[in-house]
């Protein structure tokens, strides 16, 4: 029996494929399981229009079997199978996707469940196997065929026996060498992990024989290994379920299962969008800050799924930096993937989704702030600094998105307040939003500079973090009210004291000139203060930068 060679270009392409398309070997299983799922889907679609065909979900499954001793891994499906011609066409031609043709021929517009489209995934098997054998019997056929290949030198096809319709893909797993080990792909726990990771939401059961150590019957200290067939995947992704049927606990469990964090999520956001771009998303606002959050080790991003199949574990483009604390996933049918399905071809869809998601996160945070203040304060305690950085970074490009999410400690309320709350209760004669900077609330309370403003009955925002004032300077104003440091030269408060002090300034000119001379390098001017009540003297900043900002700037490396 002659061997049919791959065409020359195909040979090179195959080598390229096997060695450079995928960054991780383990995805071979994702690809083979995707094909199996597609094959079952095809029967499902056929049954929709063919009255003689019944689709009983119980009959359809995918099975993964590992035989360690023989180094054989088998992926079996009860799908539509392949005829001899289809084996040649689909597996003998690289980049020929039978699934894509199927979608076109059957005019399945909404056949978005069928995953295949590039006609290369199958060859990923050669990353881990020296020999790949495919035994297949097509729906409506009595004959079965065996396709076999060792990679780039071609394939053989011969007739064989197979009792049921479907396909078996048999991999002879490569021998491990000193540099490379392939043994993991025969280990039960590892296979389970890979299935869970990439194929958890394949809609048909993926079964495996799993060894469980159990107490021997009638004994309380003797154990035995029992082999049990288990379904590994959870099949229906939580984000495709009806929101009304899901409880808070379901979302919490999912958060934990996914290991998004060890805490309980503070809030979940379940989004289903069916507009110009379709996607589902489950997003979480964590309660606690991850230990590495403000370090360079922290990687932001959401999981990205295409049709229930994991494409990227941390897609950073989906989250702006100021919401980098958000965890969760996005699943979309409308992504144009590149050939390895690890990356996207266009980022237009992604940008749209990202924009959309950002809006949802913001509105969710605002409603938390409005309706569940205590929860919001918890959130703000953990991630508020990131929002302030967000206002400041990128030259304030995001300040309008973020300004309403900011909160600062108020001298009057003795708790965190929003800028809106501050401005809405400003007395009519108050021109500015006043703030004072210092290391702690207690220290600011004692600042002489706060006296005059407080005496006027005005509220003061306390800034205790270095970023606070930088962020506020970037904002410039809120609802047309400018921010003003209590230590700035002109506080904008007209009063009797103002006129009084001007008079005193002229009267005491000689004294002040003398003091200025003595303090020559340390101060720019000595004047009668308009703001002191009980303190004899205070320092105030002249010009644009407050004393605290000066300290920060001076401490910055050049
Ligand atoms: P894709 O899935 O992107 O189409 P693959 O290289 O993974 O590309 O598979 C090529 C083609 O081979 C598929 O489109 C399908 O027609 C066929 N095929 C692969 N595996 C199976 C299977 N288990 N059952 C039926 N057909 C299959
Ligand atoms: Mg495929």
Decide: 31 in ligand 1 pocket, CB within 6 A. yes
Dist. CA 540–CA 125, nearest whole Å: 72
Dist. CA 291–CA 358, nearest whole Å: 24
Dist. CA 451–CA 476, nearest whole Å: 24
Mutate to test the pocket of ligand 1, among 85, 96, 116 (most ligand atoms within 8 A of CB): 116
Ligand 2 mean position to 94 CA, how many Å? 11
| pLDDT number for residue 358 | 97
pLDDT in tens, 75-115: 999 999 999 999 999 998 777 888 888 888 877 666 557 88
Ligand 1 mean position to 303 CA, how many Å? 25
Which residue, among 222, 200, 185, has the nearest Cα to 73 in the 3D structure?
Answer: 185
The one-character DSSP state at 527 is -
- Ligand 1, atom 15, lies closest to the CA of 98
Mutate to test the pocket of ligand 1, among 13, 76, 77, 98 (most ligand atoms within 8 A of CB): 98
Ligand 2 mean position to 307 CA, how many Å? 13
Decide: 118 in ligand 1 pocket, CB within 6 A. yes
- Ligand 1, atom 23, lies closest to the CA of 36
| pLDDT number for residue 98 | 85
Tokens coding 319: 């989250």
Dist. CA 321–CA 36, nearest whole Å: 39
Phi and psi torsions of 68, nearest 5°: -60, -45
Number of H helices, E strands in the chain: 17, 19
Ligand 1 mean position to 137 CA, how many Å? 14
552-555, Cβ contacts within 8 angstroms, sequence gap of 24 or more: 552/466, 552/470
Ligand 2 mean position to 31 CA, how many Å? 5
| pLDDT number for residue 38 | 94
| pLDDT number for residue 9 | 65
Which residues lie closer than 8 Å to 22 by C-beta, 6 or more apart?
28, 124, 127, 340, 342
| pLDDT number for residue 50 | 83
On whether ipTM exceeds 0.95, the answer is yes
- Ligand 1, atom 13, lies closest to the CA of 98
| pLDDT number for residue 527 | 73
pLDDT in tens, 528-544: 766 666 777 777 666 55
| pLDDT number for residue 555 | 66
Tokens coding 282: 């489950």
| pLDDT number for residue 406 | 97
What ligand is nearest to the CA atom of residue 62? 1
pTM of the model: 0.75
Residues with a beta carbon under 5 angstroms from ion ligand 2: 34-35, 116, 121
| pLDDT number for residue 151 | 85
| pLDDT number for residue 7 | 63
Q: Where are the alpha helices (DSSP H) in 332-480?
A: 348-371, 373-396, 399-402, 419-424, 441-445, 451-455, 466-475
Ligand 2 mean position to 150 CA, how many Å? 19
**What DSSP string describes 316-329?**
GGGS-GGGTT-EEE
Strands 416-418 and 407-410: antiparallel
pLDDT in tens, 32-71: 999 999 999 999 888 877 888 888 888 999 999 999 999 9
Which residue, among 267, 232, 233, has the nearest Cα to 248 in the 3D structure?
Answer: 267
| pLDDT number for residue 347 | 78
Please, are residues 265 and 368 in contact by the beta-carbon 8 Å criterion? no
The HSE-up count of residue 265 (CA atoms within 13 Å, CB side) is 24
Residue spans of the chain under pLDDT 70 = 1, 6-10, 108-112, 346, 494-502, 529-533, 540-558
CA of 96, closest atom in ligand 1: 10
CA of 79, closest atom in ligand 1: 24
Tokens coding 52: 């003689």
């Amino acid at each position: 029996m002659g061997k049919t060679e791959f065409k020359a270009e195909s040979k090179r392409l195959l080598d390229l494929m096997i060695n450079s398309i995928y960054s991780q070997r383990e995805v071979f299983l994702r690809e083979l399981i995707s094909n199996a799922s597609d094959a079952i889907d095809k029967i499902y679609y056929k049954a929709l229009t063919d009255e003689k065909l019944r689709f009983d979900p119980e009959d359809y499954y995918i099975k993964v079997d590992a035989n360690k001793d023989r180094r054989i891994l088998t992926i079996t499906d009860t799908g539509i199978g392949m005829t001899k011609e289809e084996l040649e066409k689909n597996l003998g031609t690289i980049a020929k996707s039978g699934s894509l043709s199927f979608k076109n021929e059957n005019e399945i517009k909404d056949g978005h469940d069928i995953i295949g489209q590039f006609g290369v995934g199958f060859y990923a098997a050669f990353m881990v196997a020296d020999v790949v054998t495919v035994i297949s019997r097509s729906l409506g056929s009595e004959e079965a065929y065996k396709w076999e290949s060792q990679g780039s030198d071609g394939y053989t096809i011969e007739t064989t026996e197979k009792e049921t319709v479907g396909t078996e893909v048999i991999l002879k797993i490569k021998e491990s060498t000193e540099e490379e080990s392939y043994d993991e792909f025969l280990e039960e726990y590892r296979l389970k992990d890979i299935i869970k990771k990439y194929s958890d939401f394949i809609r048909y059961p993926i079964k495996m024989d799993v060894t469980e150590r159990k107490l021997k019957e009638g004994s309380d200290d003797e154990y035995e290994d029992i082999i049990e067939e288990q379904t590994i995947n959870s099949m229906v992704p939580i984000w495709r379920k009806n929101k009304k049927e899901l409880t808070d606990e379901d979302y919490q469990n999912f958060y934990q299962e996914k290991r998004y964090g060890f805490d309980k999520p503070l809030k979940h956001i379940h989004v289903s969008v069916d507009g110009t771009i379709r996607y589902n998303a489950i997003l979480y606002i964590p309660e606690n800050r991850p230990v590495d959050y403000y370090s360079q080790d922290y990687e932001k991003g959401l999981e990205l799924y295409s049709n229930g199949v994991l494409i990227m574990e941390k897609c950073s483009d989906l989250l702006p930096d100021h919401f980098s604390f958000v965890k969760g996933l996005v699943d979309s049918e409308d992504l144009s993937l590149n050939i390895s399905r690890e990356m996207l071809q266009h980022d237009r869809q992604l940008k749209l989704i990202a924009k959309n998601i950002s809006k949802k996160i913001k509105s969710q945070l605002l409603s938390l702030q409005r309706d569940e203040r205590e929860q919001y304060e918890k959130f703000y305690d953990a991630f508020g600094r990131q929002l302030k950085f967000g206002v400041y970074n990128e030259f304030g490009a995001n300040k309008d998105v973020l300004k309403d999410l900011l909160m600062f400690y108020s001298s009057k309320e003795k708790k965190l307040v929003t800028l809106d709350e501050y401005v809405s209760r400003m007395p009519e004669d108050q021109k500015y939003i006043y703030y004072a900077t210092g290391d702690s609330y207690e220290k600011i309370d004692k600042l002489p500079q706060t006296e005059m403003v407080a005496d006027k009955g005005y509220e003061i925002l306390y800034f205790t973090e270095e970023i606070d004032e930088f962020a506020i300077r970037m904002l410039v104003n809120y609802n047309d009210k400018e921010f003003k440091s209590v230590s700035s030269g002109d506080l904008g408060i007209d009063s009797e004291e103002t006129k009084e002090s001007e008079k005193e300034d002229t009267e005491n000119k000689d004294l002040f000139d003398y003091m200025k001379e003595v303090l020559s390098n340390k101060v720019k001017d000595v004047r009668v203060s308009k703001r002191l009540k009980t303190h004899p003297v205070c320092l105030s900043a002249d010009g644009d930068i407050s004393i605290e900002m000066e300290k920060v700037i001076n401490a910055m490396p050049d």
